[in-house]
Structure 1
Amino acid sequence: MNPRAASPQRAPERWPLLDRDDWTGREARHHQRVDALLEGHLHRRRHGIAHPVEDFLFTYYSHRPAQLRRWHPGAGAGLAGGVLPAGPGESFYTEVPGGVALDVDRFLAKRGETASFVSSLLRAVHGRTANLGCFGLHEWAMLYKLRPGEARHSQLPLRLGAEGTDRVVESHRIRCSHFDAYRFFTDEARPRNELRPTRDSQTRMDQPGCLHATMDLYKWAYKLTPAVPGELVADCFELARDVRELDMRASPYDLSAYGYTPVPIETREGKAEYAAAQRRFAERASDLRSQLLRVCELLTADA
């Protein structure tokens, strides 16, 4: 890497520098961890095999496997020696005494608007009480009154059939607060939602119990790369992967051919199982959200 010449910096000159053994060790551990997480997906991709659960993180989100594998120390730390492997994000580094660190001014000049939005959204969600009463009905509303073959995963059978799926939607209160779930509701299901989330209302409406808001921590982490440490991006990816599994197990689809047991949210027992898992995910997400907010604070320190 050839970092651009040093410019006046606000925080980076005061950040500790990792010595070569520290940062190469962290990088190697990150590669090992991410390679294990990606192994199944990359194998299937090479052989043209689709997976209705695990492919989501690579089709819905724009972060590619090679980008996830890339390690950065993140805001708050630099790298001693002034030499980094070439790769994505290198243009955001600059020389500091004894090494290189993130050029905060340059980063904010390009991604400041994103950082401001992410900070506002995460702070708002962090201060709210989790709502655990949605029971994953967004996936059911995405299938309501569809004709055969129109579903996103039309190759998968429905546990209750089309009529049974529609009855679940009709017999439940639906209060989906997440725009990126609501926007996939069928035209017939949309009026049944008690809320009307929009992109502009996301900061007001997202809440920490929402599975999609939790999965989106991965999106916010990679959108702030290289300011976010590689380990934290991987933590958010792993949480999103686990949440996606629950999301689909609680859906109308029959995933038994892929080894998944259903969470039958149409039953009292299934609702209890779903809410308990939701609570555990909200707890994991709270810690990661705090860490991402800390990154935002480091980016704006002394501004």
Structure 2
Amino acid sequence: MPLPEHEWRRRAAAHAARVEQWVRPVQERRLRGEAHPVEDFLFTYYSQRPARLLRWSPGAGAVLAAVDRDALPEGCDWEAVPGGFRLAAPPEGIARTAAWVVELLERTASRPAQFGCFGLHEWAMVHRQPAEQVRHASWPLRLGADGTSEVVESLPVRCSHFDAFRFFTPEARPLNQLQPTRATQAELEQGGCLHANMDLYKWAYKVFPYVDAELVADCFDLARRVRELDMRASPYDLRALGYEPVAIETAAGRAEYVVQQRAFAAEAATLRERLLAQALTVLEVGRAAQSGCAPQSG
């Protein structure tokens, strides 16, 4: 059944208002030539531009009621169907990405979440590294360089995420119990990993506009909160920015970290399920277009 114009316009406006509160501060800092180690991360580490996050789409298969094409949300390829318009069939590149995302998410969800890493990946990224090469060199290390390295060498390093592991210093890499590669990513990712759960945002926007904008925003919201824990548990002292440290070098700090990690894992599991369902819909719509059969509208 087509989504009435007043309803999809309401959803689009609500999405823009929600996202604006995250995007505007980043854009204002860029104009001032400033950087924020926590809040800017999702717009520097990931390729999604702030302006694109503002865009709205109902996702694959949904039909929008509209008088004419010019009234529809911009940035999407629309096709006329009975009752309104829907997104045209996904291009081959999007379909390939959706298939890869489906496999990764299914395999991630199939294995038990692990909660023994304690966020040591950020510590391993500065282990035995010269001060001028530290990623966030403008912020002090809480325990100093030697104290940071002592923590890395005294606790088990159990990072399963390739895109975190690839930033480990050469001295830290042999300490990791796993040696992740891009080729083994789908074999190793698990739902307790902060970075795997942040990456739900990446997989959502890579399939946008064929997944709905609200899901992309939900994944972004999770990722920004995960990033906060990531940096609070890091070796950096960010108290000047209002972030109290989670001192994972202590037993109490590690326990606190695991409590929050488990909560994020539960939240991410729900988002992963939603994203998996929508990515499967993208594949279904693509197959239907290739066969000449019209998929059911959602």
**What range describes the TM-score normalised by the shorter chain of this pair?**
over 0.9
TM-score if structure 2 supplies the norm length? Answer: 0.92
Change (3 A) 1:206 1:216: same
CA offsets per residue over residues 198-225 of structure 1, 9 Å max, x none? 1111111000000000000000000000
- Given that 2:161 and 2:180 are in contact with CA atoms closer than 8 Å, whether structure 1 keeps it comes out as yes
What secondary structure does 1:197 align onto?
coil
- Given that 2:108 and 2:190 are in contact with CA atoms closer than 8 Å, whether structure 1 keeps it comes out as yes
Match of 1:42 in 2: 27
Match of 2:252 in 1: 269
In structure 1, C-alpha distance between the alignment counterparts of 2:260 and 2:17, rounded to whole Å: 28
Match of 2:166 in 1: 183
Q: Percent identity?
A: 54
CA offsets per residue over residues 142-161 of structure 1, 9 Å max, x none? 00101121100011100000
What secondary structure does 1:194 align onto?
coil
Q: How is 1:190-269 mapped onto 2 (pairs within 5 angstroms)? A: 190-269=173-252
Give the Å deviation of 1:58: 0.5
Q: How is 1:115-130 mapped onto 2 (pairs within 5 angstroms)? A: 115-130=98-113
In structure 1, C-alpha distance between the alignment counterparts of 2:73 and 2:271, rounded to whole Å: 28
Match of 2:10 in 1: 25
Match of 1:287 in 2: 270
The answer as to 2:4 corresponding to 1:51 is no
Give the Å deviation of 1:164: 0.2
CA offsets per residue over residues 5-40 of structure 1, 9 Å max, x none? xxxxxxxxxxx3111101000001111111122232
Match of 1:68 in 2: 53
What secondary structure does 1:204 align onto?
helix
Match of 1:114 in 2: 97
Give the Å deviation of 1:85: 4.1
What secondary structure does 1:18 align onto?
coil
- Given that 1:108 and 1:115 are in contact with CA atoms closer than 8 Å, whether structure 2 keeps it comes out as no
Q: CA RMSD in A?
A: 1.3
Give the Å deviation of 1:108: 4.3
* Residues matched between the structures, number: 284
In structure 2, C-alpha distance between the alignment counterparts of 1:217 and 1:297, rounded to whole Å: 15
Matched residue type, 1:87: E
Match of 1:164 in 2: 147
- Given that 2:125 and 2:169 are in contact with CA atoms closer than 8 Å, whether structure 1 keeps it comes out as yes
TM-score if structure 1 supplies the norm length? Answer: 0.91
In structure 1, C-alpha distance between the alignment counterparts of 2:204 and 2:219, rounded to whole Å: 7
Between 219-228 and 79-88, the greater mean CA deviation after superposition: 79-88
Q: Point out where structure 2 has 5 or more consecutive residues left out of the alignment.
A: 288-298
Match of 1:87 in 2: 74
- Given that 2:198 and 2:227 are in contact with CA atoms closer than 8 Å, whether structure 1 keeps it comes out as yes
Matched residue type, 2:33: G
The answer as to 2:57 corresponding to 1:77 is no
The answer as to 2:83 corresponding to 1:98 is yes
In structure 2, C-alpha distance between the alignment counterparts of 1:53 and 1:110, rounded to whole Å: 31
